[in-house]
Amino acid sequence: MDIWNIAEYACWGIAGVLVLWMIADMVRVGAEYDEALLLSSREGADELLERGNATGEAK
């Protein structure tokens, strides 16, 4: 058991923690927020398009 073996285990561990954190956060956000809000982003909101956004709707 040298430093490289320890590094192997450390990598498995840290990677596992990061992935679990992301999944936990994803589930939490899904439960806490309204799905319609999460899906509310609009494509291409930019200053080039301000004319379109100023009137509120694309149509």
| Inter-residue contact 38 to 29 (CB < 8 Å) | yes
**CB contact burial 29-42 (16+ within 10 A = b; e otherwise):** eeeeeeeeeeeeee
> What's the min distance (Å) between Cβ of 4 and another protein?
4
* Contact letters for another protein, residues 30-59 (x by CB under 8 A): ---xxxxxxxxxxxxxxxxx-xxx---xxx
| Inter-residue contact 35 to 29 (CB < 8 Å) | no
Q: Judged by CB under 8 A, does residue 6 bind another protein?
A: no
Question: Which residues contact another protein by CB under 8 A?
Answer: 2, 4, 7-9, 11-12, 14-16, 18-19, 21-23, 25-26, 29, 33-49, 51-53, 57-59
